[in-house]
Amino acid sequence: MSVFACRRLSTSRVHHIPLPLFEEATKFFLRKPKIEGATYDDIQLKEPSKDDLAKFSKESGKFLRFLKIWCEEDGRGQQWVEYVKQYDTTGHLTVERDVYLTRDEVSSAMIESGYDYKEVYALETFFSPDDKFHYPEISILFNIDEQHTYEYCMRVRARNHSVVAVKEERRPALVRSYALFFAAVAFFFSYTPLSSYIFIGKLIPSTLLYYFLVFQGLGMPLDAAMRQISRLACEKQMMTVLDGEEAIAMRMRDFAQDGECLKSLNEFKGEAQASLIAYHKALVVRQKQALKEKLSRQLLSIQQAEASIGASLQDVMVRELVKMFRETFPKDAQLQDAALKSAIANIAGDKVQDPIAGKFLSALKDLSAADLEKTKGNEAGTLVERVAAVFQQKEKDFLSNFTVKGEEVSELKQIIAKIKTGTADGYDFKKLDTATSQKLDSLYSSINARMGFDVADERMITVTTQDTMPIHDAGAADFVEAVNAKVAASADKIRTNRLTAFLKAFD
Amino acid sequence: MLNYVPRRTPGVKLLYGKRPVQRIIAGHSKFLIAIPTTTTDKIYEKVDESVYYENNTYNPLQWKDYVKIKLDAQNLIEADVKSALTNLDFYPKIQGLYAGQQSLAEMDAALKMSAKPQFKFPLASGGTTK
């Protein structure tokens, strides 16, 4: 069995499990509703033909409503129309009374034959457990020949030991069969040699009674013992069968994964191709995203650094102004004298300009008029020179952090001069010795990192051998070797590309 | 041990073949096993449909086929493996193929991105590179 599904069945779905049946005669009489012109009989004893079975008129409005929906779903609307014509004007169908299936028997057959559970639920929801489906209804419901459905219904009824309604057979009223039997026995015993009082009245009754008692005394325990032995044997056999089924089902459940495995294997090629295309796209998107993020971060850093310089300029001015005052005031006697006089005049109520404030205002005026970039910085000079010194230092730090330095440019130019070929490729990197090559790589990395450029690096690419080791398969190992060679060749090309583009910017 | 197989006729199996799957209940645990009818039909190809047993309910299966099925069932029960797909040698190939293709995809993406990085570098002396 190549493909199968196996699962545990919920108990609600199990209607019957075939177990050994043991028939017992009961002391109770079976009571059934009286039917005019019919009587009941055991289907297995009577073995009635189709003509022997009693018929009745069935009202099937509920079934017809369900059948209409069912046929429309199946695309058999015309069949429903033809079927309805079998009904009489009052909407009744004349059919054999006990040739039917119960709702649960129909749903069991549907489950067994692979019907979808939704279809079974629809049937079980629409009909109650007491509803009966007679064979013409089964026939139209599942589009099966009526004769076959009749056979199936009779088999099910016989298997369940049903008592069915059959047509009543009326015997002749004048001479009853038991009267003929009585007459025959009376005639026999009247004209045979042993028809005496002793034989008829004593010997036969006492002998019959004796053997009856003997068989009753011995037969009952013997019969019970035989029944018990037979029951145990059947139960043991059934348990063995169920054990075997259980073991096979468990194995099948294990092996069910094989089918899934083969299915997955068949689909692997397509999935792998799709995933590799998606992976390729994802790599490009990720690289673009990384480039964008790193560049944005670097631009933000530059913006923050510029803002920081601007914000700190005011602090620098105040600090340098105070510093200059503290340094110059103790040494300047004229300023001290003017400040003292100004203070005394203020106390006297005279309006005199404060010489210290005037000096501060004068310094600030000079500062606003000065070009800090062109002014030569001097930490011990005027306020303008002091602020210019601090400003130029910050600018130098800023340029150092966010631009390519002059010495780096000159180093690169030296390298370019060494390896420039004048061909289309531009540079021959094989001319570089190991130290210079490492220096070039170092400059490439540090300058790009400083600029915030995130560039592809062949060293970040996964090396195939690390992913696939250990490979014990010759074919796979060959493929891996071929890929590794290609990866190595591509890695050289990537390095050449990126260094060429880098050096051309400085050439 | 009887080689009886229930007939496929609707008189015995009412709805057989109406759907592509046949379900059976098996074992103490009441496993519901769904088997494609294409599989069950292979059994019926070996059935002698000219002979009937038990009220025309069963057909006999050829004894050689019946014994073969029984032996298969016995071997299945005694099989001490979880899968029939043993000794498979394609996993290393798939592993190598997949990892190799992954590396090639990475390399191809890196190669294309390294071809034209149009960057300009600001110089400390002022201005930018070409």
Average pLDDT, chain A: 81
| CA dist., res. B6 & res. B44, Å (int) | 10
Of A206-220, A309-323, A481-495, which one has max mean pLDDT? Answer: A206-220
DSSP secondary structure of A256-320: HHHHHHHHHHHHHHHHHHHHHHHHHHHHHHHHHHHHHHHHHHHHHHHHHHHHHHHHHHHHHHHHH
Specify the pTM. Answer: 0.54
Domain ranges of chain A: 32-167, 178-300, 310-402, 406-504
Answer left, alpha or beta for residue B126, where phi above 0 means left and psi between -120 and 50 means alpha: left
User: Is some CB atom of chain A closer than 8 A to the CB atom of B85?
Assistant: yes
For A293-317, how does the pLDDT look when each residue is reduced to its tens digit (9 = 90+)? 888 888 898 888 888 887 777 787 7
Per mean pLDDT, which range of A7-11, A346-350, B77-81 is the poorest?
A7-11
How far, in Å, CA of A141 to CA of B123, rounded?
89
Q: Give pLDDT, residue B58.
A: 94
Distance CA A173, CA A179 (A): 12
Assess B95–A contact: CB distance below 8 Å, yes or no.
Answer: yes
Residue A330 has what DSSP assignment? T
**Statement: residue A278 has pLDDT above 50:** yes
Q: Where are the domains of chain B?
A: 4-61
CB contact at 8 A, A57 and A92? yes
Q: Are residues A53 and A165 in contact, defined by beta-carbon separation less than 8 angstroms?
A: yes
Reported as a single tens digit per residue, the pLDDT across A31-53 is: 888 888 899 988 888 889 999 99
State the pLDDT at residue A252. 82
Spatial separation of the C-alpha atoms in residues A418 and A429, rounded to whole Å = 9
**Chain B positions in Cβ-Cβ contact with residue A455 (cut-off 8 Å):** 113-114, 117
Question: Distance, in angstroms, between B91 CA and closest chain A CA?
Answer: 9
Taking contacts as CB-CB distances below 8 angstroms, the residues of chain A near B13 are 112-113
- pLDDT interval class at A16 (50, 70, 90): very low
Q: How many residues does chain B have?
A: 130
ipTM of the complex: 0.71
| Contact residues on chain A for B9, CB-CB shorter than 8 A | 148
Query: Within A132-203, where are the H helices?
Result: 135-142, 146-159, 177-190, 197
What pLDDT band is residue A353 in, cutting at 50, 70 and 90? confident
Contacts of A262 (CB under 8 A, 6+ apart): B85
Which of B16, B98, B124 shows the shortest C-beta gap to A272? B98
Long-range pairs of B14-17 with CB within 8 A, sequence gap ≥ 24:
B14/A109, B14/A113, B14/A138, B14/A142, B14/A144, B14/A148, B14/A149, B14/A152, B15/A109, B15/A110, B15/A112, B15/A113, B15/A115, B15/A142, B15/A144, B16/A113, B17/A113
pLDDT (mean) for A278-299:
85
Q: Which amino acid is at A193?
A: P
Q: Mind telling me how many Å the CA of B63 is from chain A's nearest CA? A: 19
Long-range CB pairs of A172-176, under 8 A, 24+ apart, other chains included: none
- Give me the pLDDT at residue A343, please: 83
Q: From CA A153, how far away is CA A99, in angstroms rounded?
A: 6
- pLDDT band of residue A213 (cuts 50, 70, 90) is very high
The answer to whether the Cβ–Cβ distance between B94 and A245 falls below 8 Å is no
Is 80 exceeded by the pLDDT of residue A459? Answer: no
- pLDDT of residue A456 exceeding 60, the answer is no
State which of A242-251, A486-495, B118-127 shows the largest mean pLDDT.
Answer: A242-251
Question: What is chain B's pLDDT, residue by residue, as a tens digit (130 residues)?
Answer: 689 999 999 999 999 999 999 999 898 988 888 899 999 999 999 999 999 998 889 999 999 999 999 999 998 888 877 777 777 777 777 777 787 888 888 888 777 777 666 677 888 777 777 6
